[in-house]
Amino acid sequence: MAKADMLGESLWDAYSNKVTTLMNNPQHQGELFEADVTGRGHQLIVADFGAESCGDAVRLYWEIDPANDMIVNSKFKSFGCGTAIASSDVMTELCIGKTVKEAVKITNIDVEKALRDTPDVPAVPPQKMHCSVMAYDVIKKAAGLYMGVDAGSFESEIIVCECARVSLGTLQEVIKLNDLKTVEQITDYTKAGGFCKSCIKPGGHEAREWYLVDILANTRKEMDEAKMKAAADAGSSGNFETMTLVQQIKAVDAVVDENVRQFLVMDGGNMEVIDIKKGDDYIDIYIRYLGACNGCASSATGTLYAIEATLKEKLSSKIRVLPI
């Protein structure tokens, strides 16, 4: 039967040739036996891991030379779909020749990339990325058994996106550093949510503890609160006139973010601070209107007055706002 007849041409094409080949002809499937391994002066480790999301399971065999912790041979058994077999086979191959500590550093992304035909084309459709995650998890299980520690000790952070192995801390930092505002931007920057998509929001194929939509909302809230605090601190200090230019721009941006920008954005516009110049009698703040605000009649009257009045109230009575 032709491939296209079995799965549908578009779905089948989402798998790399290497994946489809290893589905039917895995190179490392099999078992290692205690008597053979100990006869060579080595140690046998057998680790099992099952994925609750799909019911697949994998058993990993390591033959380890205790003299240098080197994995000299490895086999696997996989109970599940063809993608799980292909992922387990490549995972097993990647382990051979590495020390246990080196093997723990193998990620599911390494497994998926090793299954690609070309570097820039994913080897499997997004919903099958969990198969390579299972391979990553069984490595940790095997390493934990050998080293006498819990497998969880190899994971130092909360992992939000299992497919791309992106942690909560990384997501929060990237959102803040790059002022990200959408989940799509998060995916572009980190790859989180770009595969099976279960971590984006509730309702995916696998329930998650953390979702990108909530992390984005909470982080944006923290950022807004920090800006509000900065604005309040700047306004209460009474030292706007003596601030450096950079400090003044930050203080103005904080006040605008807290009190003005949301109303401009609601009407399809925005603004940015271009420059601030100190004089004897005035502190002139030069702004540029963006979007719908650019050319709007009220941008030179009501809107301008509201911006200036807010900045005077929060920062300094000497402020004049001049659009350019």
- pLDDT 10s per residue in the chain (324 long)? 334 344 444 567 889 999 999 999 999 999 999 999 999 999 999 999 886 556 678 999 999 999 999 999 999 998 878 888 999 999 999 999 999 999 998 887 788 889 999 988 888 887 677 677 778 789 999 999 999 998 777 766 788 988 877 889 889 988 988 888 999 999 988 888 988 899 999 998 788 899 999 999 999 999 888 877 766 665 555 578 888 888 899 889 889 988 899 899 988 899 999 999 998 899 999 999 999 988 888 888 999 999 999 999 989 999 999 999
Residue of 261, 234, 259, 262 whose CA lies nearest to 248: 234
Cα 270 to Cα 53: distance, rounded to the nearest angstrom:
44
Per the structure block, which two tokens stand in for 71?
């994995």
pTM over 0.75: no
The residues carrying an active-site annotation are 54, 131
Q: What is the fold, at CATH topology level, of the domain defined by 3-155?
A: Sufe protein. Chain: A (3.90.1010)
Cα 249 to Cα 308: distance, rounded to the nearest angstrom:
14
Q: Are 58 and 135 in contact (CB under 8 A)?
A: yes
Bridging pattern class, strands 70-79 and 57-65: antiparallel
CB neighbours (10 Å) of residue 294? 13
Per the structure block, which two tokens stand in for 1?
């039967």
Domain boundaries, the chain: 3-155, 166-221, 238-323
So what's the architecture of 238-323 in CATH?
Answer: 2-Layer Sandwich (3.30)
Q: How far apart are the first and last CA of the chain?
A: 69
